[in-house]
Amino acid sequence: MSAGEGMSTSSTQASSRSPLPDAAILAKGMAALRIFVGLIALLNGLAKLLNFRDIEIGVFKANLITLAETRQILEFEANGRGGTGTEVPGLKTLVNDVILANYSIAEVLITATELGVGVALVLGIATRAGALVGLGQHLFLALLYASSNRWLFEQPHEWVPLVILALVPAGRMWGLDARLVQRRPALRRWPF
């Protein structure tokens, strides 16, 4: 037996004793998370683009957020809540004087962001960049909700997966990032 064979056997034995799952299994889990988060963004973007809200399949009933509801959320969180609105300094002015005052532009940007993030994550193309853009949108909402006395985890369950997807190259499993990296190894860096 050569030295190389001995190393191979001992490393195989060591890895079989590891409590960690195989890297391919972890990659598939990250890809499933990526696709799920992408579907959320994509469907909400489509709801805004096509102005549909309700989903009913048998007894299952759910909804998505339309542009009109997006505007209502912004108005309520900035100004509502019993008349006080957000207590985050400068945020009420940003929402009222920039976003809501120019909502015809903002609604296009919001819709394009959700569609772009959704497509990037579902297809696994420039995955980490797509996740970072989505993260920006969700952190803005988290800031808007910061002084609202909501359930502690109302926002983190939306932005924490995006932080992970912005850091981990999840598009290399079941995604177009894998093809790009195979064809051009120099792309083996962020955002692919």
Number of domains in the chain: 1
Q: What is the pLDDT of residues 56-103, one digit of tens each?
A: 999 999 999 999 999 999 999 999 887 788 899 999 999 999 999 999
The model's pTM is: 0.86
Q: Using the structure block, give the residue that is written with the tokens 């193309």.
A: 125
| Residue 6 forms part of a structural domain | no
Q: How far apart are CA 150 and CA 156, in angstroms?
A: 12
Structural domain span for residue 62:
24-187
Cβ atoms of residues 91 and 144 within 8 Å: yes
Q: Using the structure block, give the residue that is written with the tokens 């004087």.
A: 97
Helix (H, G, I), strand (E, B) or coil at 12: helix
| Residue 150 forms part of a structural domain | yes
| Residue 2 forms part of a structural domain | no
Q: Using the structure block, give the residue that is written with the tokens 């609604």.
A: 107
